């Protein structure tokens, strides 16, 4: 049944209040209809699970090659990465990046990651109170990802998180958060161009192999910085968000922690439930290449749609008691927290390896997770904690 009119809303997903407390606004958008119009941005928005899932799996109608942000001016600058491309180019470049990030490939570094997780948890137990973000969520990807990519020890590492945050902010509107990141994006671009020069990355590293691919003519050399950036941002902010939320959720729900300690085989499902409950990615846009009906709404070719992953993962039509954190949830693996379809987050297997390695170390060493009050980040695209005091009780 076609909708006679798409409902409109004056909700702004990018205000400070909407970012800090998004779930009431998400529920309002879902209740308005399967597709809602956000006139202030000139886009439609899908906030329910079914429509977000369907759009993510129709990459021919809902394309990424014209950018996945909400601001056309910034979308024009998003070129060359797998995130902002379409087949057949997308398949080529994603394959070059993803070959290092498949579960099979990551088994080669699994022991290294697990050893690091054990050392980190031991250090944090001994320390007493620490911060879930800087000492736990950020420490892990900052220690591991640069080594895997072959970044030089003396350059760039202290800026990686700031660069990644600026990159994700640029998918939002042209607000203060986005504009504050422009100098950082310039820095990141200059750094990635330097790393594209043969010999500047550690031989045999993931990044060095991409440089070799460009030298062999498999990819255009001018696209190399964007492809190196494909490793950088997805491996940073989304992982930091998921790992920090892990401590907060289990600290807030000690019964769930006790259940997981009693049944460690639930760890994989628990990680999915963490990502469902506090989705690291708020959402991206897609451009319509053709007239398309979605959820009964007639969408026009050339229009842009915002897909809210964080809202879809709390949709009452898909999940029983979606506000409840439940590690036994039977369909937790259906979450869209890392996207889905051909543009599902290329680094999600690495995030999962990190998360499960840390969960395993925590389960073996920690009796109780004590948390204070979280402060949430103000960020256009990433849902995440800014600060959270934690004590791990052995």
Determine the average pLDDT of the residues in 205-218: 88
The CATH number assigned to the domain holding 304 equals: 1.10.630.10
372 located within any domain: yes
Determine the average pLDDT of the residues in 71-83: 82
CA distances from 391 to 136, 249, 372 (A): 12, 14, 9
Q: Is 217 left (phi over 0), alpha (psi -120 to 50) or beta?
A: left
Contact 319, 331 (CB under 8 A): yes
Q: Between residues 330 and 238, which one has the greater pLDDT?
A: 330
* pLDDT tens track for 350-377: 889 999 999 999 999 999 999 999 999 9
Determine the structural domain holding residue 389 and report its residue range: 16-149+242-393
Which pLDDT value is given to residue 93? Answer: 78
Determine the average pLDDT of the residues in 69-89: 85
C-beta atoms surrounding 257 within 10 Å: 21
96 located within any domain: yes
**Which position has the token pair 């259940």?**
259
3-state secondary structure 312-365: HCCCCCCCCCCCCCCCCCCCHHHCCECECHHHCCCCHHHHHHHHHHHHHHHHHH
Which pLDDT value is given to residue 231? Answer: 72
160 located within any domain: no
Which pLDDT value is given to residue 97? Answer: 75
326 located within any domain: yes
* pLDDT tens track for 134-169: 999 998 778 877 888 888 766 667 788 898 899 899
Assess whether pLDDT exceeds 80 at residue 346.
no
Residue 283: alpha-carbon gap to chain centroid: 9
* pLDDT tens track for 88-133: 888 887 887 778 777 788 888 899 899 999 999 999 999 999 999 9
Assess whether pLDDT exceeds 80 at residue 268.
yes
How many domains does the chain divide into?
1
Torsion of the alpha carbons at 99, 66, 17 and 248, rounded to the nearest 10: -10
Which pLDDT value is given to residue 76? Answer: 84
Which pLDDT value is given to residue 323? Answer: 97
Which pLDDT value is given to residue 242? Answer: 94
282 located within any domain: yes
In sequence order, what are the residues at sequence separation of 6 or more whose Cβ sits closer than 8 angstroms to the Cβ of residue 175? 14, 380
Among candidate residues 61, 17, 34, 26, the one with its CA nearest the CA of residue 342: 61
154 located within any domain: no
Which pLDDT value is given to residue 233? Answer: 64
Share of the chain above pLDDT 70, in %: 97
Which pLDDT value is given to residue 152? Answer: 79
* pLDDT tens track for 281-315: 999 999 999 999 999 999 999 999 999 999 999 99
Determine the average pLDDT of the residues in 226-233: 76
Q: Between residues 78 and 57, which one has the greater pLDDT?
A: 57
Assess whether pLDDT exceeds 70 at residue 234.
no
Decide: pTM greater than 0.85: yes
Which pLDDT value is given to residue 221? Answer: 83
Name the average pLDDT for the chain. 92
C-beta atoms surrounding 135 within 10 Å: 15
Assess whether pLDDT exceeds 90 at residue 219.
no
Which pLDDT value is given to residue 82? Answer: 80
Which pLDDT value is given to residue 65? Answer: 93
* pLDDT tens track for 13-54: 999 999 999 999 999 999 999 999 999 999 999 999 999 999
Confidence of residue 337 (pLDDT cuts 50, 70, 90): very high
Assess whether pLDDT exceeds 70 at residue 235.
no
Which pLDDT value is given to residue 1? Answer: 64
181 located within any domain: no
198 located within any domain: no
Q: Between residues 251 and 113, which one has the greater pLDDT?
A: 251
Which pLDDT value is given to residue 153? Answer: 67
Share of the chain above pLDDT 90, in %: 68
């Amino acid at each position: 049944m076609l909708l006679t009119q798409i409902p409109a809303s004056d909700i702004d997903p990018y205000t400070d209040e909407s970012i800090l407390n998004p779930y009431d606004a998400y529920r309002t958008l879902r209740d308005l209809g399967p597709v809602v119009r956000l006139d202030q941005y000139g886009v439609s928005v899908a906030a329910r699970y079914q429509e977000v899932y369907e759009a993510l799996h129709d990459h021919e109608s809902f394309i990424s090659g014209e950018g996945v942000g909400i601001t056309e001016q910034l979308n024009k600058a998003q070129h060359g990465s797998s995130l902002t491309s379409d087949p057949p180019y997308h398949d080529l470049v994603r394959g070059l990046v993803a070959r290092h990030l498949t579960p099979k490939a990551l088994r080669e570094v699994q022991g290294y990651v697990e050893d690091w997780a054990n050392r980190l948890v031991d250090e944090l137990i001994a320390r007493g109170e620490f911060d879930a973000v800087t000492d736990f969520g950020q420490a892990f990807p900052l220690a591991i990802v640069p080594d895997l990519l072959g970044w030089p020890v003396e350059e760039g590492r202290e800026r990686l998180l700031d660069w990644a945050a600026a990159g994700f902010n640029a998918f939002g509107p042209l607000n203060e958060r986005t504009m504050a990141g422009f100098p950082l994006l310039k820095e990141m671009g200059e750094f990635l161009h330097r790393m594209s020069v043969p010999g500047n990355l550690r031989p045999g590293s993931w990044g060095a192999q991409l440089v070799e691919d460009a030298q062999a003519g498999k990819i255009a050399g001018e696209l190399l910085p964007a492809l190196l950036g494909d490793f950088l941002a997805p491996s940073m902010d989304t992982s930091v968000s998921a790992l920090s939320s892990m401590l907060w959720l289990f600290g807030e729900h000690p019964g769930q922690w006790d259940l997981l300690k009693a049944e460690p085989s639930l760890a994989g499902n628990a990680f999915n439930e963490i990502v469902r409950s506090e989705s690291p990615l708020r959402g991206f846009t897609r451009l319509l290449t053709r007239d398309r009906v979605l959820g009964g709404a007639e969408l026009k070719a050339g229009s842009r749609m915002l897909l809210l992953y964080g809202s879809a993962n709390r949709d009452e039509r898909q999940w029983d008691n979606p506000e409840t954190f439940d590690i036994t949830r039977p369909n937790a693996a259906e979450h869209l927290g890392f996207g889905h379809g051909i543009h599902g987050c290329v680094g999600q297997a690495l995030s999962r390896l990190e998360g499960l390695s840390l969960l395993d170390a925590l389960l073996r060493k920690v009796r109780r997770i004590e948390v204070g009050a979280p402060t949430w980040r103000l960020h256009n695209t990433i849902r995440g904690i800014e600060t959270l005091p934690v004590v791990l009780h052995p």
